[in-house]
Amino acid sequence: MRAPFGARVTEAVAAHGPLCVGIDPHASLLEQWGLPVDATGLERFAMTCVEALAGEVAVVKPQSAFFEAHGSAGVAVLERVVAGFRDTGTLVLLDVKRGDIGSTMAAYAQAYLGEGSPLAADAVTISPYLGFGSLTPALDLAERTGRGVFVLALTSNKEGPQVQRARDENGVTVAQAMVDEAAARNAGASPVGPVGLVIGATVGATELDLSKLNGMILAPGFGAQGAGVADLASVFGPVRERVLPSSSRDILRHGPDVGTLRSAALLVRDSVS
């Protein structure tokens, strides 16, 4: 039995600093690296990231869509990425943003969190916008298998506020309701619970009460999308120590040389530590 996700992510951050490196092999980056935009280029890109980052950063975040775009061959590469980081001290947070109901959500949970699945990562991103309760199969399976989930709460896309900042009859925003549900799942866990949140580093003032979350926060948007160290302090304030800033393009543009890519990741890691 593996240790609970909260213990493992806390250990990884203590060892390697609070950084999540996105592995986003979109076509422009493959071309920038001088690679063909096909499954062979994808594999060379992805395995270079494994070589450069394994054991060097706390968390990596492969974006599943960029692998799925290459069909079954791309999914096979994603399986190799997940396997490549296993037992290296670097956790894999698979960015899939799945959200569904009933048996369908249970199947997604089994694919990404179930024992024996080749796509089972240390944690996944999931969407609660069919209702937080719809996530129960993933939340329960993650807890049983010592894995984690990161629930979308407040995202940086311009369409997000239409739903996430909407208020109920008591004046509570939808995003705050997601925070409160996550906090309830994490209550009593030590050092933190298995349910994290996704809150964009570029969202500005959140108006969220995160004091009872007792979980990690993934903060995409650090680096190329505009957020810097000062934003992490202003957006997250007293829970800054639980934040995993996520940077992708700012680091990946330094490939394909393994050493240069690793150095770029370590430079960003040190800047947020």
User: Using an 8 Å Cβ cutoff, are 220 and 250 in contact?
Assistant: no
User: Using an 8 Å Cβ cutoff, are 81 and 92 in contact?
Assistant: yes
Q: How far apart are CA 142 and CA 224, in angstroms?
A: 31
pLDDT in tens, 216-230: 999 998 876 667 788
For residue 223, the model assigns a pLDDT of: 73
At 147, is the secondary structure helix, strand, or coil? coil
User: Using an 8 Å Cβ cutoff, are 67 and 30 in contact?
Assistant: no
CA atoms within 13 A on the CB side of 109: 22
One digit per residue, the tens of pLDDT, for the chain of length 273 reads: 799 999 999 999 999 999 999 999 999 999 999 999 999 999 999 999 999 999 999 999 999 999 999 999 999 999 999 999 999 999 999 999 999 999 999 999 999 999 999 999 999 999 999 999 999 999 999 999 999 999 999 998 889 989 999 999 999 999 999 999 999 999 999 999 999 999 999 888 888 999 999 999 999 988 766 677 888 888 898 899 999 999 999 999 999 999 999 999 999 999 998
pLDDT in tens, 49-76: 999 999 999 999 999 999 999 999 999 9
Candidates 52, 59, 50; CA nearest to 16 is: 59
Q: From the CB of residue 73, how many other CB atoms can be counted at a distance below 10 Å?
A: 13
Model pTM score: 0.96
Which residues constitute the domain of residue 80? 5-272
User: Using an 8 Å Cβ cutoff, are 190 and 145 in contact?
Assistant: no
Q: How far apart are CA 176 and CA 46, in angstroms?
A: 36
CATH classification of the domain holding 42: 3.20.20.70
* Cross-strand pairs, 244: 218
In the structure encoding, which two tokens stand for residue 262, read together?
């690793």
Those residues whose C-beta lies under 8 Å from the C-beta of residue 225, and which sit 6 or more positions away, are 156, 201, 202
Catalytic residue numbers read 97
Domain count, the chain: 1
Q: How far apart are CA 226 and CA 228, in angstroms?
A: 7
Q: How far apart are CA 36 and CA 45, in angstroms?
A: 10
